[in-house]
């Protein structure tokens, strides 16, 4: 189908990015995205169900895991169905209001996830460095308060982003560089001074994601120092093995985030395929990997999944 001209568009809409020369393959390209989305939804719903129904998992670390699962469900659901609609039905136009809402959800949910990952790092620090006080320090009530604080923090820091874009006029070219809306992507299409938006966006990223990464690194430096003080290598490996899943989840979140930021800052000459692919990786990879990582590393989750599969097989055989 022909690519729409900017003159054909509503004055308050944007065009989602396609991959030049591969428009005919959009239908097939959407199939792996849809498969990953289904896997992400199934995996994160399974985590929520298992933690809820398994009393031995009613502990701060697994409540934080439930928060991650809920965030990943919300983040992927706020973007992937719209991307699939674009690929399968060629609905490239997105209204200005819908774009700002999607942008707000993406950045806010990412900030909340970053805060939860920091809380999980602190949980690991307390569990390893102060094991006798862990239950007294990180109570279930405190865990819920941390989750609420993460939500408030994300909303307060990233609500101004769409508000700063609302009064700006936009140029005739309204083609985004991703198949969903991001702040810097939308901001670059404005035909006005965007300095306040640039400065605030960078400040928010540094004060949320930047600070969280720094504190996570400090937590692991302290953990590593405590682990190295243990008497034997067996004890050291056993202590640090409790952090492996969290380290993997942190990498699964921050590596795509940093990669997407680098593409935005320095990748103007990159092929559209790279930009679109990096955006999809950022949205889907953490949501797919998080339940797999914790499913592999947590015996209680493994047992519960195997029990559910066994029950399903019995019912299917009847």
Whether the CA torsion 174, 194, 267, 260 is positive or negative: it is: negative
pLDDT at residue 318 tops 50:
yes
Q: What confidence score (pLDDT) does residue 148 get?
A: 97
For residues 195 and 209, what is the distance between their CA atoms, to the nearest angstrom? 21
pLDDT given for residue 203 in this prediction: 94
Tens of pLDDT, residue by residue over 284-298, are: 999 999 999 988 878
Above 80 in pLDDT, residue 60?
Answer: yes
Once rounded to an integer, what is the mean pLDDT over residues 308-315?
77
267 pLDDT band, cuts 50/70/90, is low
Token reading at 254: 């921050």
* 71-124 per-position pLDDT tens digit: 999 999 999 999 999 889 888 889 999 999 999 999 999 999 999 999 999 999
Interaxial angle between packed helices 272-297 and 299-317, expressed in degrees from 0 to 180 and rounded to the nearest 10:
90
What share of the chain in percent tops pLDDT 90? 49
- Write down the pLDDT at residue 3: 42
Task: Provide the greatest CA pair distance for the chain.
Answer: 72
Residues 6+ apart with CB under 8 A from 113: 68, 71, 72, 75, 253, 286
As a whole-number percent, the residues of the chain with pLDDT over 70 amount to: 95
Bridge partners, 175 (sequence order): 15
Quick check: helix, strand or coil at residue 268?
coil
The mean of the pLDDT values for the chain is 87
Q: 56 φ, ψ to 5°?
A: -70, -15
Yes or no: say if 189 and 103 are a contact pair by the CB < 8 Å rule.
no
- Name residue, tokens 């004890």: 235
| 168 has a pLDDT exceeding 80 | yes
CA distance 117 to 115: 5
Taking residues 144-158, report their average pLDDT.
Answer: 96
pTM over 0.85, yes/no: yes
Lowest mean per-residue pLDDT among 107-111, 209-213, 267-271, 299-303 = 267-271
Work out the pLDDT band at 9, boundaries 50, 70, 90.
very low
Tell me: the pLDDT tens digits for 188-229? Answer: 888 888 899 999 999 999 999 999 999 999 999 999 998 888
Q: pLDDT tier at 6 (50, 70, 90 boundaries)?
A: very low
Q: What would the pLDDT profile of 274-284 be if each residue is shown by its tens digit? A: 888 888 899 99
Is pLDDT above 70 for 133? yes
Q: Phi/psi of residue 102, each to 5°?
A: -60, -40
Q: How confident is the model at residue 1 (pLDDT cuts 50, 70, 90)?
A: very low
Whether 282 contacts 260, CB under 8 Å: yes
Q: For residue 316, is pLDDT > 80?
A: no
Q: Given its phi and psi angles, is residue 9 left (phi above 0), alpha (psi -120 to 50 degrees) or beta? A: beta
């Amino acid at each position: 189908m022909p690519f729409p001209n900017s003159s054909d568009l509503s004055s308050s809409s944007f065009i989602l990015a396609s991959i030049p020369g591969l428009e005919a393959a959009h239908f097939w390209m959407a199939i792996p995205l849809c498969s990953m989305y289904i896997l992400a939804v199934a995996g994160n719903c399974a985590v929520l169900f298992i933690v809820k129904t398994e009393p031995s998992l009613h502990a701060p670390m697994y409540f934080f895991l439930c928060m991650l699962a809920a965030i990943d469900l919300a983040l992927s659901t706020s973007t992937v169905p719209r991307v699939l609609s674009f690929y399968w039905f060629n609905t490239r136009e997105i209204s200005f209001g819908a774009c700002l809402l999607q942008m707000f959800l993406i950045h806010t949910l990412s900030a909340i996830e970053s805060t939860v990952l920091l809380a999980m790092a602190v949980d690991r620090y307390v569990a390893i460095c102060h094991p006798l006080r862990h239950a007294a320090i990180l109570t279930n009530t405190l865990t819920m308060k941390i989750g609420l604080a993460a939500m408030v923090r994300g909303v307060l820091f990233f609500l101004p982003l769409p508000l700063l874009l609302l009064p700006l006029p936009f140029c005739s070219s309204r083609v985004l560089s991703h198949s969903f809306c991001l702040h810097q992507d939308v901001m670059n299409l404005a035909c006005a001074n965007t300095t306040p938006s640039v400065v605030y966006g960078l400040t928010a990223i540094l004060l949320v994601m930047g600070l969280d990464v720094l504190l996570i690194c400090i937590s692991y430096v302290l953990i590593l120092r405590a682990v190295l003080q243990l008497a034997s290598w067996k004890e050291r490996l056993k202590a640090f093995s409790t952090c492996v899943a969290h380290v993997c989840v942190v990498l699964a979140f921050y590596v795509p985030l940093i990669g997407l930021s680098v593409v935005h800052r320095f990748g103007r000459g990159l092929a559209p395929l790279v930009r679109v692919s990096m955006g999809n990786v950022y949205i889907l990879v953490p949501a797919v990997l998080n339940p797999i990582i914790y499913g592999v590393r947590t015996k209680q989750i493994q047992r519960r999944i195997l029990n559910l599969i066994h029950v399903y097989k019995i019912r299917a055989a009847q």
